[in-house]
C-alpha cells in the first residue's frame, strides 16, 4: 500500500512548475532548497515510482540521462544537439504510425516515441551573434 510522503509530493509539485523536463539531478538540486537533507536515492526512487504510477513520464532522448515530464498525455519531444535541452513539440501525435508500423511487423506494437533533433532557438541565436561579431 502506498503511503504519503512529503518528499514525493514536493518532487511532483516541482516537476509541475517546469516545462524543461528536468533530469533526476536537476530535481535533486532544486528540491534540496525545500528539503536540505533529501538524498539523491530518494529522488530516483520517487521519480521511478511516480513514473510507474503513470503520474509523470520518463523521457530517454539519447543523451545519457533520463528526463522527467509532468505531462503524461502522448506528445513528442525535441532535443537540442548543442545544449542538450529538451522541449515539447506542439504537434498532433500520429497514432496511425502504430498501425503503419504494424503492417509488416509480426510482433505487437503498443506505442511509439518520437524525438526530433536539431538546434534550439537559444543556440541558433548565439550562433547568429557569433557570426555577426566575426
The residues that touch a second copy, with contacts defined as CB under 8 A, are 58, 60-62, 76, 78, 80-81, 87, 89-91, 94, 97-98, 100-101, 103-121, 123-124
Q: Work out how close the CB of 6 gets to a second copy at its nearest, in angstroms, rounded to a whole number.
A: 29
What are the b/e assignments for 26-51, b being 16+ CB within 10 Å?
A: bbbebbeeeeeebeeebbeebbeebb
64 binds DNA (CB under 7 A): yes
Nearest CB to a second copy, comparing residues 33 and 82 = 82
Alpha carbon distance 114, 125 (integer Å): 25
62 binds DNA (CB under 7 A): no
- x/- track of binding to DNA for residues 20-39 (CB under 7 A): ---xxx---------x-xxx
* 3-state class (DSSP) for residue 99: helix
Instruction: Please give the torsion angle defined by the CA atoms of residues 21, 49, 27 and 33, in that order, rounded to the nearest 10 degrees.
Output: 140
Alpha carbon distance 116, 78 (integer Å): 5
Residue 51 binds which one of DNA, a second copy, none, with CB within 5 to 8 A depending on kind? none
Residue 7 binds which one of a second copy, DNA, none, with CB within 5 to 8 A depending on kind? DNA
Residues that bind DNA (CB under 7 A): 1-8, 23-25, 35, 37-42, 44-46, 48-49, 64-66
Amino acid at each position: 500500500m502506498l503511503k504519503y510522503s512529503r518528499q514525493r509530493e514536493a518532487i511532483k509539485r516541482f516537476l509541475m512548475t517546469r516545462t524543461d523536463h528536468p533530469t533526476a539531478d536537476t530535481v535533486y538540486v532544486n528540491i534540496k532548497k525545500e528539503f536540505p537533507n533529501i538524498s539523491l536515492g530518494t529522488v530516483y526512487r520517487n521519480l521511478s515510482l511516480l513514473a510507474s504510477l503513470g503520474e509523470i513520464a520518463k523521457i530517454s532522448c539519447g543523451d545519457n540521462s533520463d528526463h522527467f515530464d509532468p505531462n503524461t498525455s502522448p506528445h513528442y519531444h525535441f532535443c537540442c544537439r548543442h545544449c542538450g535541452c529538451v522541449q515539447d513539440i506542439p504537434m498532433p501525435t500520429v497514432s496511425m504510425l502504430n498501425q503503419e508500423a504494424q503492417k509488416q511487423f509480426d510482433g505487437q506494437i503498443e506505442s511509439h516515441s518520437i524525438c526530433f533533433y536539431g538546434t534550439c532557438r537559444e543556440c541558433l541565436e548565439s550562433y547568429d551573434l557569433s557570426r555577426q561579431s566575426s
